[in-house]
Amino acid sequence: MRHVLYSVAWIACSVLSSLAGCVSGPAGNTEASANVDGDHGGGPGGSGSAAGAVDCDALAARLQAALDAAVDAQGLPGAAAAVDLGGCSFRGAAGMADVEANTPVKPGDLFRAGSITKTFISTLVLMLRAEGALSLDDAVAAYVDGVPGGEQIAVRQILNHTSGLFNYTDTHDFLRAVEADPARVWAPEELVAFSAAERPYFEPGRGFEYSNTNYIVAGLLVEAVSGKPVVELLRTRILEPAGLASTYLDGAEPALPGLVRGYGSYGGKLVDVTSAVDASSAWTSGGLVSNTEDLTTFFVRLLDGGLLGPAELEEMTTWVGSLSADAPGYGLGLAQRPSPVGATCGHGGSMWGFVSASYCAVDRGAAVTVLVNHEDADVERVVDDLLLVLKTP
């Protein structure tokens, strides 16, 4: 599921294509080896049944060919991909990081991760819950002011999008404001105010509607409960312990070098929209920048229990809603999606000029991340193209 803002996907939009049933480039632009990273080379759920039975070099060649073909078929500027299976760890890339400069994408290049940010923020909330700092059944109003109906909205309802809060990125006032002043730096409370001016979709708990507002509220909640900036908690509680050295919250901390250019197609022309709007307009709903290595590591660590305990993982994978046949349920910052290799879960996202997807097939012991620098790319199709390679003998 994707929320596109007018004809230009400027702001943090959501791709809710994630995977189903969890715990409960140019030739030469590739890296592959057996156990290239001992922390997650086996994929989620351990070493994986395919370990020892897979020719990693042959698998890497097939995955690179599939990635090249997917980029060509969709006419994409470029893409980077990571696939872990058993003892094999593939890192590949195809196409251009900068079309004008004719710079190829490299496997370690940075992309805007969009709504994958939501899984990180939900993880922080669940960490605080594990420490007894909050309950998922607490009213949001106990921590965050200015949320319409916040006395009746539970913390879990903002994490699983059953709060009914209107999506601020779909409001005409917000869209007009960012069009009038794309460089404006936004305070989170201002973003929530756009939602508060609109009628809620439904009473809390009476439906499902994906809303970026929920995760702006979640970011404010994390700060209120911890007494610390959310970016500090992201770094000290997730990024540094998990070794995610290529991930940062754009607009809230210094940028790292290596962000590829992001594009849209308007009037039949490719347009660079990498920084069309200030990143503060996305914040904790979609502001992370990362690469395929870090995102794959994060989801594998998360689903292997390396970041959350069993009780919190059970909460995260308690599914609600009915998004579509392709994404039948949503947990706490985690979504379901069927795949060619079976039950999988994870998250996707889109930002101006970028789309992303990072999924784990736990029973298969596989993990895949795909990052694309074009806002209209069908990233799920690229993911499935790569997963089909794993399915084929």
Residue 26: pLDDT band by 50, 70, 90 thresholds? Answer: very low
Q: What's the half-sphere exposure (Cβ side, CA atoms, 13 Å) at 71? A: 27
pLDDT digits (tens, 9 = 90+) for 344-361: 899 999 999 999 999 999
Confidence of residue 48 (pLDDT cuts 50, 70, 90): very low
Whether residue 129 has pLDDT greater than 70 = yes
pLDDT band at 31 (very low <50, low <70, confident <90, very high): low
The secondary structure of residue 146, as a DSSP letter, is S
Burial readout 345-369 (b: 16 or more C-beta within 10 A, e: otherwise) = bbbbbbbbbbbbbbbbbbbbbbbbb
Per residue in 279-310, pLDDT (tens digit) is: 999 999 999 999 999 999 999 999 999 999 99
Structural domains for the chain? 13-391 (3.40.710.10)
Q: Alpha carbon 311 to chain centroid distance?
A: 23
Q: Which of 20-34, 48-62, 219-233 has the lowest mean pLDDT?
A: 20-34
The predicted pLDDT at position 6 comes to 25
Q: Percent of the chain beyond pLDDT 70?
A: 85
The percentage of the chain sitting over the pLDDT mark of 90, rounded to a whole number, equals 79
Confidence at residue 381, expressed as pLDDT on a 0 to 100 scale:
96
How confident is the model over 207-266, as pLDDT tens digits? Answer: 999 999 999 999 999 999 999 999 999 999 999 999 999 999 999 999 999 999 999 999
Of 22 and 129, the structure prediction assigns the larger pLDDT to 129
Range 324-332 average pLDDT: 78
Query: Is 280 in contact with 189 (CB distance < 8 Å)?
Result: no
Q: How far apart are CA 245 and CA 295, in angstroms?
A: 11
For 57-107, give the DSSP string: HHHHHHHHHHHHHHHHHHT-SEEEEEEEETTEEEEEEEEEEETTTTEEP-T
Q: Which residues contact 65 (CB under 8 A, 6 or more apart)?
A: none
pLDDT higher than threshold 90 for residue 371: yes
| Cα distances (angstroms) measured from residue 144 to each of 1, 136, 162, 186, 218 | 28, 14, 17, 17, 9
Name residue 256's amino acid: L
Handedness of CA 385, 387, 388, 393 (dihedral sign): positive
What's the whole-number mean pLDDT along residues 52-72?
92
Q: By the 8 A CB rule, do 381 and 81 touch? A: no
